Amino acid sequence: MNLSYVLMTSARNESKYIEGTLKSVVSQDILPQKWVVISDGSTDGTDDIIQQYANQHSFIQYIRAEPNLERNFASKVFALQIALNIFKNESYDIIGNLDADITFKPSYFLEILKRFESDSKLGVAGGVAYEEHGGKIAPLEYSFDMNVLGANQNFRKICFEQIGGYRALLRGGEDALADLMARMYEWKVRSFPELQLMHHRPMGVGEGRLLKAKYGLGRLDYSFGYHPLYEIAKCISRLKEPPFITGSIARLLGYSIAALKRESLAIPKEAAMFLRKEQLQRLRIAS
């Protein structure tokens, strides 16, 4: 394998899950050249767990970031910028963003590197994440040929630099924007179903929080410039996701209220126009 990779992780109060992620990385068939793990204002013992592994493995660098008093979805991007500044002194081919609540097989990153090596136009790649709901394990649903879940996005270095890296967005969605910008610059973006990740902290706890999260996703969709027909089709296609039916209604409600308020775009106008063009093409193909 001729390619090398680095990883960055922003963790806040992940003491329940982060050791599983640490164990997964240190067990990889091919280790990262460097892995910068930032504790973003943690107060639950996350720092101690990271420090323990950093003391045992020289490629892990632990960083403590002071808590952001105005916490929002952009905080993660600000934390990751610390890692990016460190990587300026590193030579590598692939850069990966890894959440602190996922686990995977020892061959995972070897397989990711193989796919980058076999396709020079592959700009963003990752596996498919699974979650447990009601005792059943199922994959998260998203477009495998257009998106890579933010829990583990891996970028070819030149692609990451071309799209300007992650951009801080108040409502989140920096991972979706990175995918979109990569496609706009004609890079391939692929999730590989045969490469599985286990996501241990599902979005929200209980129906109330899930509905709130779905409502927020609807507002996020509007801020990306989603076409109304595509948003409706997307909500219909996800009626079977928990919380069943009501989740899609909450998402469509969030989108509709944002539209009524004429909330502003959160992404560059040209990116929103490109996204709408893609969405209309997919609707035509599906019809």
Question: Do 277 and 180 belong to one domain?
Answer: no
- Cα–Cα distance, 248 to 217 (Å, whole number): 10
Report the candidate in 30, 23, 278 with the shortest Cα–Cα distance to residue 176.
278
Residue with the bigger pLDDT between 74 and 8: it is 8
Question: Do 141 and 214 belong to one domain?
Answer: no
pLDDT digits (tens, 9 = 90+) for 59-113: 999 999 986 655 567 888 999 999 999 999 899 999 999 999 999 999 999 999 9
Q: How many residues does the chain have?
A: 287
Instruction: Write out the residue range of the structural domain in which residue 261 sits.
Output: 206-286
Question: Do 115 and 48 belong to one domain?
Answer: yes
Domain final residue, candidates 173, 199, 225: 199
Residue 208: the pLDDT is 65
Question: Do 211 and 179 belong to one domain?
Answer: no
Instruction: Say whether pLDDT at 13 is over 70.
Output: yes
Rounded mean pLDDT, 175-185: 97
Rounded mean pLDDT, 239-268: 94
Tokens 């001729």 belong to residue: 2
Q: Residue 136 — pLDDT band, cuts 50, 70, 90?
A: confident
Buried b (16+ CB within 10 A) or exposed e, 113-130: bebbeeeeebbbbbbbbe
Question: Do 173 and 273 belong to one domain?
Answer: no
Residue 69: the pLDDT is 52
Q: Residue 261 — pLDDT band, cuts 50, 70, 90?
A: very high
Question: Do 232 and 155 belong to one domain?
Answer: no
Phi-psi region for residue 218, left (φ > 0), alpha (ψ -120 to 50) or beta? alpha
CA 98 to chain centre: 8
Domain final residue, candidates 141, 164, 199: 199
Question: Do 161 and 260 belong to one domain?
Answer: no
Least confident of 148-162, 163-177, 237-251: 237-251
Question: Do 161 and 236 belong to one domain?
Answer: no
The structural domain count of the chain equals: 2
Question: Do 14 and 97 belong to one domain?
Answer: yes
**CB-facing half-sphere around the CA of 251: CA atoms within 13 A:** 25
Residues 187, 132 contacting (CB under 8 angstroms): no
Question: Do 77 and 109 belong to one domain?
Answer: yes
Angle between helix axes 269-286 and 174-184 (nearest 10 degrees) is 80
Question: Do 16 and 89 belong to one domain?
Answer: yes
Peptide bond into 243 cis (omega under 30): yes
Tokens representing residue 254 in the block:
């969030």
Whichever domain contains 25, its CATH number is 3.90.550.10
Residue 47: the pLDDT is 97
Whole-angstrom CA distances from 83 to 45, 61, 68, 90, 285 are: 21, 9, 17, 11, 41
Question: Do 186 and 226 belong to one domain?
Answer: no
Instruction: Say whether pLDDT at 204 is over 60.
Output: no
Residue 178: the pLDDT is 98
Torsion of CA 180, 153, 34, 105, to 10 degrees: -160
Domain final residue, candidates 179, 199, 219: 199
